[in-house]
């Protein structure tokens, strides 16, 4: 099996480094950060923290160097999905492409360039410490399922899930992956921007009664939008929020949006709260809190 991870930031590196431990999987990593690519090729891709691994994928910043792959795992920021899959699509002409990204709209972007798409949701998280070295902050499960308009075959989805599980990234293949996806979208949209605006970690947001009440209000709007589409969540996002706030889970974790704000990078707010607002408009569900949070984070970005 040959797998290409497209976008080797924190989450992409978790998949690339762990899958590269398997003798029967050849892993390629595509990323535009040349120092990161050079470090991977020279010293390997190191994970430390919640999990330890040193994988040796073949890394490149040139899509023309990618061989034909059985699977792609797209792990870029959502705003880079279209450019990344357009550049690398030739490697997946006969393969299947999964997204493990945040937000809404990634599958649709991938489907414009590939024929067999996997709807994916992953909860592991980390941060890039230096080129070739990622800190693994949070462990968690991954779910794969067919993207309905251009589905990958379920047996192929199960094949990729089995490899990820053997590599140390527990992954389940299911027939309808919308429930896990929307649970995470609602979780992220309710917590990430609040942390980004206040500069507080997940656990500290949850400790403040007024902030926790705001988080619940954002969750309720997301649930209503999901229900209007007939999507059954696989679990309550509120439970996940409280679980993640435990000291041994993610109390001190800085969400990716907070990391982006601290680095003055564009955030994924358009694909999280912005996505919930857009789907709400399509289905006649009001989302005033998500719209307000969306506007606040966009305003913060403009201040840079």
Catalytic residues: 184
CA distances from 290 to 22, 59, 113, 194 (A): 42, 38, 31, 11
Tokens at residue 232, please?
């059954």
**Gyration radius (Cα) of the chain, Å:** 18
Sheet of strand 53-55: strand arrangement: 53-55, 45-49, 133-138, 125-130
Q: What are phi and psi of 66, to 5 degrees?
A: -75, 130
CA distances from 127 to 45, 154, 162, 216, 257 (A): 13, 31, 25, 27, 12
Tokens at residue 79, please?
């705003």
Q: Which residue has the tokens 């990634």?
A: 106
Please classify residue 125 by burial: count the beta carbons closer than 10 Å to its beta carbon, then call 0-12 exposed, 13-18 middle and 19+ buried: buried
């Amino acid at each position: 099996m040959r797998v290409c991870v497209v976008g080797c930031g924190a989450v992409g590196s978790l998949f690339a480094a762990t899958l590269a431990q398997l003798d029967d999987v050849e892993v390629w990593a595509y990323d535009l950060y040349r120092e990161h690519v050079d470090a991977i090729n020279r010293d390997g891709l190191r994970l430390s923290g919640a999990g330890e691994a040193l994988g040796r994928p073949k890394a490149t910043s040139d899509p023309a160097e990618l061989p034909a792959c059985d699977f792609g795992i797209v792990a870029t920021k959502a705003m880079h999905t279209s450019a990344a899959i357009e550049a690398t699509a030739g490697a997946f002409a006969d393969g299947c492409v999964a997204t493990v990204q945040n937000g809404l709209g990634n599958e649709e972007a991938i489907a414009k360039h590939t024929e067999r798409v996997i709807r994916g949701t992953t909860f592991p998280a980390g941060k890039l410490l230096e080129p070739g070295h990622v800190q693994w902050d949070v462990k968690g499960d991954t779910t794969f399922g067919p993207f309905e308009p251009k589905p990958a075959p379920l047996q192929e989805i199960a094949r990729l899930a089995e490899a990820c599980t053997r590599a140390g990234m527990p992954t389940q293949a299911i027939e309808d992956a919308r429930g896990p996806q929307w649970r995470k979208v609602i979780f992220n949209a309710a917590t990430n921007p609040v942390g980004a605006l206040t500069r507080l970690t997940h656990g500290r947001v949850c400790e403040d009664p007024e902030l926790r009440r705001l988080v619940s209000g954002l969750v309720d709007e997301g649930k209503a939008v999901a229900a209007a589409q007939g999507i059954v969540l696989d679990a309550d996002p509120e439970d996940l929020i409280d679980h993640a706030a435990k000291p041994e889970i993610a109390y001190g974790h800085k969400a990716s949006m907070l990391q982006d704000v601290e680095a003055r990078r564009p955030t994924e707010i358009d694909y999280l709260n912005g996505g919930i607002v857009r789907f709400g408009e399509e289905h006649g569900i009001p989302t005033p809190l998500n719209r307000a949070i969306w506007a606040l984070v966009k305003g913060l970005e403009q201040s840079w």
